[in-house]
């Protein structure tokens, strides 16, 4: 659940914004196809971006990482803009 006034990070938003070559390839393939899954596995196993880059990209765009006090297992990324 995303807190009121926040938006959730959209899947692969960072990858699309930084024009990741894996993401650009995924954009032209059919989701769920064999080719798509092969590229997705390359993405998962050999990402060219670092967590530092991703974290700073989030900060620059006003995202926060939120963790519920009630549920120690769930966390959210929300936009504060």
Evaluate whether residue 5 is within a structural domain. no
**Ranges assigned E (strand) in 41-80:** 63-67, 75-79
Q: Indicate whether 4 pLDDT > 90.
A: no
Q: Give domain status of residue 47, yes or no.
A: yes
What is the number of domains present in the chain?
Answer: 1
Whether 6 maps to a domain, the answer reads no
For 22, the token pair is 């894996």
DSSP β-bridge partners for residue 8: 78
Number of continuous H segments (helices) and E segments (strands) in the chain: 4, 2
**Residue 12 region by backbone torsions, left for phi larger than 0, else alpha for psi between -120 and 50, else beta:** left
pLDDT of residue 75: 54
The pLDDT assigned to 30 comes to 96
- Domain span at residue 63 reads 13-79
How many whole angstroms separate alpha carbon 6 and alpha carbon 22? 29
Task: Tell me the pLDDT band of 3, cut-offs 50, 70 and 90.
Answer: confident
Instruction: Indicate whether 3 belongs to any domain.
Output: no
Q: How far does CA 9 lie from the centroid of its chain?
A: 7
Task: Return the residue matching tokens 């549920």.
Answer: 71
Within a domain: residue 1? Answer: no
Q: What is the pLDDT of residues 24-75, one digit of tens each?
A: 999 999 999 999 999 999 999 999 999 999 999 999 999 988 877 776 655 5
Q: What does the pLDDT read at residue 14? A: 97
């Amino acid at each position: 659940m995303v807190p009121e006034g926040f938006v959730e990070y959209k899947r692969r938003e960072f990858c699309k914004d930084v024009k990741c070559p894996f993401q650009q390839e995924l954009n032209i393939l059919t989701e769920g196809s064999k080719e798509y899954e092969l590229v997705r596995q390359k993405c998962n196993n050999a990402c060219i971006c670092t967590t530092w880059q991703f974290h700073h990209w989030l900060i620059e765009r006003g995202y926060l990482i939120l963790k519920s006090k009630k549920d120690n297992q769930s966390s959210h990324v929300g936009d504060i803009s």
